Amino acid sequence: MRSTPLWASEAARPWTREAFADLRAAAGAFRVGLTGAFTAWPALVGRVAFYAVCLMVLGAFWGKVGASRLPGTLATRLPPGGLGPYVGVTEWVVISVVSVQLRFEDEVRSGALEARLLRPRSWALLLIAEAAGGTAARMVAIAPAGFALLLMTGLWPGPQALARTALLAVGGAVLTLLVYALVGLSAFWVRRVLPAMLIAQKLMFLLGGLFAPISLYRGWLHALAFASPFAAQLGFPGQAILSMSWGGFARALAAQAAWAITLAIVAALACRAGVAKTLREGAS
């Protein structure tokens, strides 16, 4: 293959070809993330152990709350069997998702972004795809620990509920990844992304229902949480393992799809604005 000078007029590529090439490159980056995570298996084992510890602590906590059923508190509305399985699902999502915001921050702040912009593919797309690969590997590795918990506690929900939960958990992981990516993209404008990340984490905790289902909330807080992307991220997958009708499942999936599209568009616009800023002002 000899390189020959190709001039602009000879090099036009149809957008469809570019779009497919983007997808193929993203698939390649996903694979890199997946194999990278499995290759670093000691870290994966550590993450599974961390998940197990989290579940033991939180399961015991909700077990105590559920057992006492103090009048006038939300404990009276807890589902039979406690919230162990619910927290098992929300933690499965949160602990699995790769901290892609740190990669974004590092590349923007260190100026490594400049070398990435020399490629004919979207830098952000490749970063997110690679992080998605790592997230998939973690979800696969952590899942057996979750199954073990369900078996040990005797709260096995049945294959249909498991399938619904798994699907919504994957959707939740995609949303979480997009939220993290948005936090990471803020590095174009702020010195550190940590404050933005702390805010996102608090919102996931409260509006996402990280430790308790948003169905336990009352009034405006319930409405706000339900309408936010954070419920689609964590609350819906968690709810699916407790009880969810097929109709509720379809609505949850639709909400996840809508939020995924919205967040992806916002991320694409933020990335476009950030890259334009870098092209104008230069990298760090």
Partner 1 sequence: MKPAVTVQDLRKTYRQPRRRTGAFGGLRGLFQPEYVELAAVAGVSFEIGVGERVAIIGPHGAGKSTTLKMLSGVLEPTGGEAQVLGFTPWRERRALAYRIGVVFGQRSQLWPELPARDSFALLRRIYDQPAEAFARRLGELAERFGVAGLLDQPPGRMSLGQRMRCEIVASLLHAPALLFLDEPTIGLDVTAKAAIRDFIREQSAREGQTVVLTSHDARDIELVCERVIVINAGRIVLDEATEGLRRRFLARKLVTVRSVAPRLEVEMAGVTRRPSEPHTTVLEVDTARARVEAVVAAALAHGGIDDVSVEDPPMEEVVHEIYAALGV
Contact residues: partner 1, CB under 8 A: 1-9, 11-13, 17-18, 21, 24-25, 27-29, 32, 35-36, 39-40, 111-112, 114-121, 126, 278-283
Q: Which is nearer to partner 1, 18 or 195 (CB)?
A: 18
Q: Which is nearer to partner 1, 17 or 218 (CB)?
A: 17
Q: Which is nearer to partner 1, 5 or 159 (CB)?
A: 5
- How far is residue 251's CA from residue 257's CA, in Å, rounded to a whole number? 10
Q: Which is nearer to partner 1, 111 or 195 (CB)?
A: 111
Minimum separation from the CB atom of position 4 to partner 1 (A):
7
Minimum separation from the CB atom of position 177 to partner 1 (A):
19
- How far is residue 73's CA from residue 125's CA, in Å, rounded to a whole number? 45
Minimum separation from the CB atom of position 12 to partner 1 (A):
7
Residues 6+ apart with CB under 8 A from 209: 90, 225, 230, 231, 234, 235, 238
Q: Which is nearer to partner 1, 159 or 281 (CB)?
A: 281
Whether the CB-CB separation of 168 and 236 falls below 8 Å is answered with yes
Minimum separation from the CB atom of position 119 to partner 1 (A):
5
- How far is residue 225's CA from residue 221's CA, in Å, rounded to a whole number? 6
First to last CA, the chain: 37
- How far is residue 129's CA from residue 38's CA, in Å, rounded to a whole number? 16
Minimum separation from the CB atom of position 51 to partner 1 (A):
23
